[in-house]
Amino acid sequence: MKLVFSTITKNIMNSKQKKHQILKLFVSHFNFYLFFLSIVLVAGCNKEEIGNDKMLIKLTPDYNSDLANFTKTVAKGLSDVDFRLFIKNEAIKQFDGDYDILLASNYENKILTKSANSAKTLYSFLSSINNNTLKSASSTNNAFLDSLIIKYPLLQISIPETFNSSAENWDAASEEILVTFLPSDYDEKTTSFLTAYDSNGNTTQISAKEEPIKPVIVISLNERLQYHDINLKSTQNSIYFKNNHYAYYFPSSQEFNDLNDESVQLKSLAISYDRDLKSGSDILWQGRFVSKDAFRQVEGWPAGKPEFTVIIAYIDKGTGAPVASSLTKILSSDGWISRYVFYSDLRTKNLNIPILRWYKDRYGLDMKYHWMEKDSGGDTPTEITTTITTKYDDNTTSTLSVKHTFDNNDEDAGESIVQYEDNTDGDGTEYNTGIMRFWIKQ
């Protein structure tokens, strides 16, 4: 009996020990799970968000009234000679290649006066202007001005260069000029008139087609800069300016970088064309508008200088199936107009942009150059398709397309085929898109 009781007791103890061990093991695993989960959550919280390289401005329903109110404020400020001189001096710096003043990066800039003690910043000067329209639109001028750079990060004060005038020949010390703005529905092809204001608040209608004789200040959105949320990490290496809300940068051209460029032995030994005798890259050498009318077809005078992106579309055969490829080159905005003492004219702009080394057995005998002109105010992505057909030495052909995203306000400036057999000596061969003339050389 004693033995039986001892055996039963031992079994009970063993059972309890097993349960305790199982419970201990469960708690241990559960604690490890909680620890692992906390690590994952912390890692997730610490992970940096990568920002898009570009944010599109979503124009609010108040866009036109906001810009009209700001236009009236700037116009009223032009009665002050120090403010006029400030606007001219900042504009002719051409920070983006055009006569533009980005509001966000200039708010704290000082307006020089005869008395250093009375110097004001651009922000404080604009805030001090008594504008009844502003007061009804916002509780204070300050609140309105603060809201502008948040709602419209690319808002700028611009003095567009025309064939008749530029900021350079504005006598700001003695001459007041009109101020207008580009409404949300502005279009080079369809907009006929713009509303302009003087320093007394008077309004007048000015032509959006015919260039003014005197300079005009235009309130608009910058075409050259792009921006992203300041809290997001950018893939951009160089930031032009940043504030508490956004980081601003200039977009850069895409460079040709093929690690297999020299190793792919596809270049034919047969010498039939000019490029067969050379080992350098093609160069987008020069560009020029076909005419002044062509200039205004893609860029009306209120929008300032043109902002071009050139897509070079080609087919890369490599060692396998043909693949559609492309490079994008962003052109600087200056250099399209030559100014003389009594007149101005179109100018052949030096570009000198390397493209790529052309292997005819790899890329075929044809490439296409597609020109796009960027306009401000675009709020909807639009897909642009460039189709290229090329022929190879073995008489086979390939037809493929590349797609690029632009904004709905951007203008198509045409395209032209560049052929391998074209001459590259001297200034090279001239091509024509109907809007642009350009030259390719080596």
What pLDDT, in 10s, does the model give residues 375-398?
876 668 899 999 999 998 888 999
Q: Which residue has the tokens 């400036």?
A: 413
Q: pTM of the prediction?
A: 0.80
Which pLDDT score, from 0 to 100, does residue 255 have?
A: 73
Residue 26 has pLDDT above 80, yes or no: no
* Domain tally, the chain: 2
CATH label of the domain that carries residue 385:
2.60.40
Average pLDDT estimate for 351-355: 97
Same domain? For 205 and 299 the reply is: no
Using pLDDT thresholds of 50, 70 and 90, give the confidence band for residue 130: low
Q: Is residue 235 part of a domain?
A: no
Q: Is residue 310 part of a domain?
A: yes
Same domain? For 221 and 72 the reply is: yes
Same domain? For 74 and 220 the reply is: yes
Measured CA to CA, the distance from residue 396 to residue 364 in angstroms comes to 9
Q: Is residue 195 part of a domain?
A: yes
Q: Is residue 8 part of a domain?
A: no
Which pLDDT score, from 0 to 100, does residue 46 have?
A: 37
Q: Is residue 189 part of a domain?
A: yes
Residues in CB range of 56: below 8 A, 6 or more apart = 378, 379, 380, 381, 407
Q: Is residue 247 part of a domain?
A: no
Same domain? For 158 and 301 the reply is: no
The percentage of the chain sitting over the pLDDT mark of 70, rounded to a whole number, equals 78
Range of the domain at 72: 63-226
Q: Is residue 130 part of a domain?
A: yes
Q: How many CB atoms lie within 10 A of CB 320?
A: 7
Using pLDDT thresholds of 50, 70 and 90, give the confidence band for residue 40: very low
Q: Is residue 290 part of a domain?
A: yes
**Is pLDDT larger for residue 140 or for residue 122?**
122
